[in-house]
Structure 1
Amino acid sequence: MIYISVSSDVSFLRIHLSGNNNHIKFLQGPQDNIVYAAGHRNMFQTDFHSLTSIKVDCHYNITVLHKTKDPNQLFLCGTNGQQQTLCCYMNPSDDPFNCTRSKGIQNIKQHINESEPSLLIGSAEVEEFYTTHSGTEGSVGIHRFGKNRLWTEKSGTEQRYVSLVASGQREDNLQDRLYAFYIEKTRDPSLDSDLWVSRVAQVCMADLGGPKSYLQFRWTSKLSTRLFCGDHDSRLYFTQLVDMNTVLGDRWQDTRVYALFRNGWGMSAVCVYTVEDIDRIFKTSNFKGHTGPVPNPRPGECVKDSTKLPMEVLKMVDKHSEMEEWVTSGPLLVSHRHYHHIRMDRVQGKWNVLFLSLENGGIHKVLERDGQAFVIAELQPFNYRAHILSMMLHSSTIDLGSCDQYGAQCEDCVLARDPYCGWDGHRCTTATNDTIQDVENGNHQVCSNISRGFTASKVYFPGSSVGAEDGIRVPLSSKYFLHCPTLSSHAEYSWRHHGNTTATPCISTKSEDQCLLLIESMGPEQQGTYSCVSEERGYRRTLVQYQLQLDRGVTGLASHHLPFPGLGLVLLLVLTLLC
C-alpha cells in the first residue's frame, strides 16, 4: 500500500533556524538526538530531545562540515567572501567555541562551493581532504589537500560533481581508491543527443602525482567512464545524475551506490551499482581511442611511487583516460515524479528502505526487495508546498514508522509492507519480534489467525447537509459529489449504488488521495446507499458509505456537499470544468 500522510499523522519534530540558510550542511552528532547544521556565517547545535538549538556566529560562510575520528571534534571549512578557504577543527562542547586551524590543510586559494562533494580521510595527524570543483573554468575535477596536494588539468568541458565515494579499505591499502560521480555536458553536436551524460572517475589515494617533467601535482591514476542507467528493451534511458547515497558493505566489493537519475521526459529513476562493478571496468576495459598495446603497469593501477611511473604510462593516462566499456545498471525504480534527493536505511539488518524527496516537499518511502521497488508511503513533513534543500536520514531522530497511518485493521498493516511496522493484535505499531508483518509478500492471510469474519474497517456515514439523521438530502436536479479517501495507490477503487451490481470507477483527478463520484442530476433513481470499495491482493473492504435522499422542496444546478474539510478548492475546480 502507498499512503498519503500529513504532519498530524507522522511525527516530525520542527526547529526553526534563524538567519539566511538557503544552503545548509547537516551532520549527525555524537548522540542520536544531536544534529549540527552549518550555513551562512552560522552554525547550530540542535537537540531534538529538548527541542533546543544553540547558535554560533561565525565570520566565515561554512561550506564544508565533517566528522573526524575523534567523536567530539568537527572539521569544517569556510570562506569570508574572498577566493580563499580556511579549514579548522572545533569541539562543539567548548564554551566559547574555538576553531583550531588545520596544520596540514592550508593555502586553499579557491572558494569551495557548499554544493561540492567532499571527504575527509584520516585524522588530524595524517589528514587528507578531497573535494571537487565544478564548472568550466579553473582546475575542474578532483582536488586533494594535505601533505600531497593534487588536482586535475582542465577538461575542456563543463562538469558538475554529485558525489565522492571511498572504495572502502582493501586488503592492500595501496589499492584504496576514490570514485567521483559527475555529469558532463555532452560533446555530441547532434540535435537528438542528450545535453548531459553521467560519468564516474577513479583516482588512487596513494597517488603522489607525476615527476617534475610531466604531470607534477596532477593525478597519474585518474580514469573515467560512462555511467549508464536504463533499459534497452523499453528504450528508456536516464542520462542526468541528480543525487547519490552510498551503503557500505562488509567487504569493499559489496559497497552499493544508489544513484538517482532524470531524463529529458521529466521522469526519475534509481539505479544501483556496486564498487566491484566499477572496479572491474577500470581494471579490464579497453582504453577509448587507444589502438596499441597497453603499457605495464596498466594505466590507473595504484603504485607505491607514482613519480617513478614510465613516461608511456603517464602519457596514456593524460591522453586516453576514458574506458570503452560503461558501468551499467537497469532501473530499480522508474517514476513520473520529480525526485531531488535519495537516502537509504537498513531495517532489521535485511530490508532496504529508500527515502526520495519530491518536488512538493513530500517524501516517498520505498522498499527494495530482490531488485524490485515497492512504494510504501508518501510522507508529508510540511502542511504546505515546500522545496527540500537538504536531507539527512537518522531513524532515531525521525519517526520513520508512523504506523498508525496504515489503518485500524491487521490486513491494512500487513499490506503496507513497511519494515518499521507490525500488528500487535490491537493496532499497527513499531515492529518487534512479537508483531505480525509480511514485508516480503504483503500477504494479508497472516492475519487470519487473529481476525475472524468481516475484516473491513468501520463504515463511515457522513452527517447530513441539512441536519437530517437519516441521510443527506440533495435538491432535485442538482449535481452532487461523493468523496472517498484513497489510502493506497496499489488498490483499486470503485463506487457501488445499492441495488446495482455494476461498479462505477472514480472520476480521474490530479489529486492522488481521493476518489470522486459525480451524481449528474439528482432524481428518485439516484437515492439510496453509495459505497466506496477498495480491493488489493484479494483483500476487499468498504471505506465509506453515503445515504442520499431527494429533497423535493428545493431545486438547484450546482448544489454540492463537501463532507471532508479541505476539499473546497479541489471540488470547486472540478465543478468549474464539469458544470
Structure 2
Amino acid sequence: FPGPLIFLSGVGVQGCHGAPCFNSFLQFELKATGTAHFFNFLLNTTDYRILLKDEDHDRMYVGSKDYVLSLDLHDINREPLIIHWAASPQRIEECVLSGKDGNGECGNFVRLIQPWNRTHLYVCGTGAYNPMCTYVNRGRRAQDYIFYLEPERLESGKGKCPYDPKLDTASALINEELYAGVYIDFMGTDAAIFRTLGKQTAMRTDQYNSRWLNDPSFIHAELIPDSAERNDDKLYFFFRERSAEAAQSPAVYARIGRICLNDDGGHCCLVNKWSTFLKARLVCSVPGEDGIETHFDELQDVFVQQTQDVRNPVIYAVFTSSGSVFRGSAVCVYSMADIRMVFNGPFAHKEGPNYQWMPFSGKMPYPRPGTCPGGTFTPSMKSTKDYPDEVINFMRSHPLMYQAVYPLQRRPLVVRTGAPYRLTTVAVDQVDAADGRYEVLFLGTDRGTVQKVIVLPKDDQEMEELMLEEVEVFKVGMTHSPVLLTPQQLYVASAVGVTHLSLHRCQAYGAACADCCLARDPYCAWDGQACSRYTASSKRWGPRTPRVLSWGFGGRCNTTLGVMDGTAPWSLEGTGTWGGEASLKILDQELSSSRRSRRQDVRHGNPIRQCRGFNSNGECAEPDPWALLTVPRSCSQGPPREGLSHDPGG
C-alpha cells in the first residue's frame, strides 16, 4: 500500500500574488472518506500505466512489469482479470549479460494496449530489451470474464514498443494499422514515427535526419479530422525534442507534428517514408514586464477535451521549465484553429549553416506540401506517389513550420513557480454549476498528489486560479501515466499502483452553509442540510461550443439564464462580458424564502448572499438583512507544505 491518503482542502480565495489561492485547510486520511480506492492485489510488479479505457466493457486496461490487468471501471478491486506475461528466463539472462539492470530494465514492461476489434486487444511489451507483441482475447461481453493471451500469435514489437522501458511511446491503432512514435533500436538512438500492421505500406520518418526528429520524447498521439472528407484525416503527435533552430542550442522545444493517414510515401524520393510529415513548436510562456518571456519548454502530458465539433477539440498541455536555475510548471490551452493556422502558414527555411532561419519565400510547389492525397484540395491525386518530385523533395528538407503555436490568450492557464514539486499530468472535466459552466483541472505532481483546480476571470485582463483541493495519493510521483476520467471517477497510476478517486468530497467542506459556499467547488452545493453533490438542470445550459475557448475574455453575454437551480428564479440583467461585471439579480420573493434547496456561488463564494436564512448547523432561521458573516481569510501563505495542517480558524 502506498501509505496514507491525505486530503488537503482549500476554502475561500482572494488575490494570492501568483500562487494558487487557499484559505483554511482540512487534513485527514482520504481512505476514511470512502472516496478513494487503491488496487490492493499484491503483485510482484511495478511501473503501472493506465493504457486504455473500454467503456463498452466497463473496463480499463493497465500495463506494468510482466502483467496486463483488466480492472472494473466502477470498482477496481472487483474481480480483476490478470495476465502474467514475463520475458523468458533465457531472454532475461541475455539482457543482464548485456549490462542492463535485472530488476529495473530486464523485464517485460507493458507499454502498449490498443483495441484491435470487439473481442481482442493488441498488446506490446519491452520483452527484456527484445520488444514483443501479441493479441489478448477479452471476450465479446464484460460479463463473460474472458481475458487471456494468445501466445501462438506472438510477433516482434520492433517499431511498436521501445527496447528501453525508460523511453516512452505514443501510439494509436486506426483501421487495424498501428501508428507509433517510438525508439526502434537497442541503443535508443533511432527514433521514428512508424506505421505497421494493416494493408498499407509500412512507413517511418526519415532516418537519422535531425530536421525531422532530434532525440524526441513522445507524449501523445491523437486522430483529429480536418473536414468531413475522410481523406483529409490527420494524426497528430505531441512530443519534445532538441531544437535545431534555437538561438542557443541545444535547447528542448515542445512540438506538435502531424501526418496524413493515407500517406504512401514518395515514388523516387522518400520511399516508404512519410511525405506529409510536418511539425511546429508549441509555446507556453509567461510574458515579463521587461518584454522577455519565461518559457516552459518541457512538454510532460497532453489531454484532448472533445467538443461538439470533433474537428475542434481543446488541447490542454502540461509543461515544465528545462533550466536548473528556474524551476516551474505551467498548463497551457490550445485551439485547433490556431494549430491549423500555423500548419497553413510559412515553412521554416535556412540557406546554410551560417544563415538564420527565415520563412520560405520561394515558389511553393503544388500541391502544397503536407496536403493529403484525395482530399478536399487534391481530389484527383489518389496517392502521395502521384505527387511531383519537387513536392517530395521540399518535404524532406522543410518539415518545420516557421511560426509557433501559441496558447489561448498567449499565456498559461495555470502557473507554478518556486514550488517544491512539478506538474506531470492533466485531465479535465466539464461541470455545470448554478452560476455557469466550469472546466475543472486535475493535475498530477511528481510528489504523488493530485490537485483539483478551477480558473476564474479576475478582470478583463487576468484570470485567477483557485485550488479546490490537493490529495496525496502516492508517496512517489505520477511521472508517466495520465489521469483518466470517467463519470464521477478519476484514475491515477504511478510506479507503485493504481487508485481511483471520486471527483468530489463535498461532505469534507464542513457542516455549515457558509463553509460549503466558501469552498467554491462546482461539484458541491448546500442543500439545506449538508454540503452535497450538485446536479445541474439539463435545461439550463445548451451544448458546449468552441466559443467557451475565450476563457472569459470578450465573449458576449446577453441572454436570460432562466431557472438556475430548478426552484429559484434568477435572471441576468443587461449585457456584459464574461470577463467583466454583469448584474445578477435574485428576485425579491426568492430572497424572503428560506426553503431554497440548492445554494452555490462558484464565481464569488459569497456566503452572505447565499446562506441568508441558515444558521451554522444548517437549520432554517429567519433572515436578518443587517447581519454580517465574518469569514477569516488568509491567502498570503500559498499552498501548504506536505504534512502541515492549517487551522481553519485562521
TM-score bucket (shorter structure): 0.7 to 0.9
Question: What is the Cα deviation at residue 163 of structure 1?
Answer: 1.2
The reply on whether 1:438 has 2:516 as its aligned counterpart is no
AA aligned to 1:339 is L
The reply on whether 1:67 has 2:67 as its aligned counterpart is no
Q: How far apart in 2 are the matches of 1:315 and 1:250?
A: 38
Q: For 1:214, which of 259, 269, 276 is the aligned residue?
A: 269
Question: In structure 1, what is the equivalent of residue 362 of structure 2?
Answer: 292
Q: How far apart in 2 are the matches of 1:172 and 1:189?
A: 37
Q: For 1:392, which of 459, 476, 484 is the aligned residue?
A: 484
Change beyond 3 A, Cα 1:509–1:89: closer
Q: For 1:313, which of 391, 396, 399 is the aligned residue?
A: 391
Q: For 1:492, which of 627, 630, 634 is the aligned residue?
A: 634
Change beyond 3 A, Cα 1:239–1:79: closer
Q: How far apart in 2 are the matches of 1:189 and 1:171?
A: 37
Change beyond 3 A, Cα 1:54–1:174: closer
State the TM-score, normalized to the length of structure 1: 0.72
Change beyond 3 A, Cα 1:300–1:4: farther
The reply on whether 1:335 has 2:335 as its aligned counterpart is no
AA aligned to 1:418 is D
Question: In structure 1, what is the equivalent of residue 451 of structure 2?
Answer: 364
Change beyond 3 A, Cα 1:76–1:111: closer
State the TM-score, normalized to the length of structure 2: 0.65
Change beyond 3 A, Cα 1:102–1:257: farther
Question: What is the Cα deviation at residue 409 of structure 1?
Answer: 1.9
AA aligned to 2:426 is I
Change beyond 3 A, Cα 1:413–1:41: same
Question: What is the Cα deviation at residue 252 of structure 1?
Answer: 3.5
AA aligned to 2:475 is R
Could you give the per-residue CA deviations for residues 198-221 of structure 1, whole angstroms, max 9, x where no partner exists? 11111111111111x211110000
AA aligned to 1:380 is V
Question: In structure 2, what is the equivalent of residue 448 of structure 1?
Answer: 611
Question: In structure 1, what is the equivalent of residue 96 of structure 2?
Answer: none
Q: How far apart in 1 are the matches of 2:412 and 2:34?
A: 29
SS at match of 1:109: coil
Q: How far apart in 2 are the matches of 1:31 and 1:172?
A: 27
Question: In structure 2, what is the equivalent of residue 133 of structure 1?
Answer: 182
Kept in 1: contact 2:342–2:404 (CA 8 A)? yes
Aligned residue pairs, count: 466
Question: In structure 2, what is the equivalent of residue 268 of structure 1?
Answer: 329
Could you give the per-residue CA deviations for residues 202-246 of structure 1, whole angstroms, max 9, x where no partner exists? 1111111111x2111100001111111113344222111111111
Question: In structure 2, what is the equivalent of residue 118 of structure 1?
Answer: 171
Change beyond 3 A, Cα 1:185–1:448: same
Question: In structure 2, what is the equivalent of residue 99 of structure 1?
Answer: 150
Kept in 2: contact 1:83–1:110 (CA 8 A)? no
AA aligned to 2:275 is T
Q: Percent sequence identity over matched residues?
A: 23
Question: What is the Cα deviation at residue 341 of structure 1?
Answer: 1.1
Question: In structure 1, what is the equivalent of residue 67 of structure 2?
Answer: 42
Question: What is the Cα deviation at residue 453 of structure 1?
Answer: 8.7
Change beyond 3 A, Cα 1:507–1:138: closer
Question: What is the Cα deviation at residue 306 of structure 1?
Answer: 0.2
Kept in 2: contact 1:134–1:160 (CA 8 A)? no
CA-atom RMSD, angstroms? 3.4
Kept in 1: contact 2:438–2:454 (CA 8 A)? yes
Of 27-36 and 55-64, the range deviating more from structure 2: 27-36
Q: How far apart in 2 are the matches of 1:307 and 1:247?
A: 35
Question: What is the Cα deviation at residue 110 of structure 1?
Answer: 4.3
Could you give the per-residue CA deviations for residues 279-332 of structure 1, whole angstroms, max 9, x where no partner exists? 121112344333411111110111131011011110110011211111112201
The reply on whether 1:199 has 2:255 as its aligned counterpart is yes
Q: How far apart in 1 are the matches of 2:616 and 2:270?
A: 77
Kept in 2: contact 1:64–1:118 (CA 8 A)? yes
Question: What is the Cα deviation at residue 76 of structure 1?
Answer: 1.8
Question: In structure 1, what is the equivalent of residue 506 of structure 2?
Answer: 403
Larger Rg: 1
SS at match of 2:426: strand
Kept in 2: contact 1:174–1:303 (CA 8 A)? yes
Q: How far apart in 2 are the matches of 1:32 and 1:448?
A: 44
Question: What is the Cα deviation at residue 116 of structure 1?
Answer: 0.7
Kept in 2: contact 1:346–1:353 (CA 8 A)? yes
Q: Which has the higher contact order (CA 8 A, sep 6+)?
A: 2
Question: What is the Cα deviation at residue 32 of structure 1?
Answer: 8.3
Question: What is the Cα deviation at residue 374 of structure 1?
Answer: 2.9
Q: How far apart in 1 are the matches of 2:223 and 2:55?
A: 22
Question: In structure 2, what is the equivalent of residue 80 of structure 1?
Answer: 127
Q: How far apart in 2 are the matches of 1:348 and 1:514?
A: 31
Q: For 2:441, which of 347, 354, 369 is the aligned residue?
A: 354
Q: How far apart in 1 are the matches of 2:151 and 2:145?
A: 12
Q: Which consecutive unaligned segments of at least 5 residues does structure 2 have?
A: 1-10, 12-21, 88-107, 351-359, 375-382, 490-500, 537-596, 619-630
Change beyond 3 A, Cα 1:372–1:145: farther
Kept in 2: contact 1:89–1:101 (CA 8 A)? no
Kept in 1: contact 2:330–2:412 (CA 8 A)? yes
Question: In structure 2, what is the equivalent of residue 427 of structure 1?
Answer: 530
Question: In structure 2, what is the equivalent of residue 230 of structure 1?
Answer: 285
Q: How far apart in 1 are the matches of 2:338 and 2:506?
A: 37
Q: How far apart in 2 are the matches of 1:221 and 1:286?
A: 13
SS at match of 1:352: strand
Change beyond 3 A, Cα 1:404–1:151: same
AA aligned to 1:77 is C
Alignment of 1:164-175 (within 5 A): 164-168=221-225, 170-175=227-232
AA aligned to 1:356 is L
AA aligned to 1:435 is R
Change beyond 3 A, Cα 1:231–1:86: same
Kept in 1: contact 2:259–2:276 (CA 8 A)? yes
Q: How far apart in 2 are the matches of 1:163 and 1:307?
A: 28
AA aligned to 1:392 is L
Q: How far apart in 2 are the matches of 1:432 and 1:271?
A: 29
Question: In structure 1, what is the equivalent of residue 471 of structure 2?
Answer: 380
Q: How far apart in 2 are the matches of 1:453 and 1:413?
A: 11
Change beyond 3 A, Cα 1:292–1:140: same
Change beyond 3 A, Cα 1:274–1:511: same
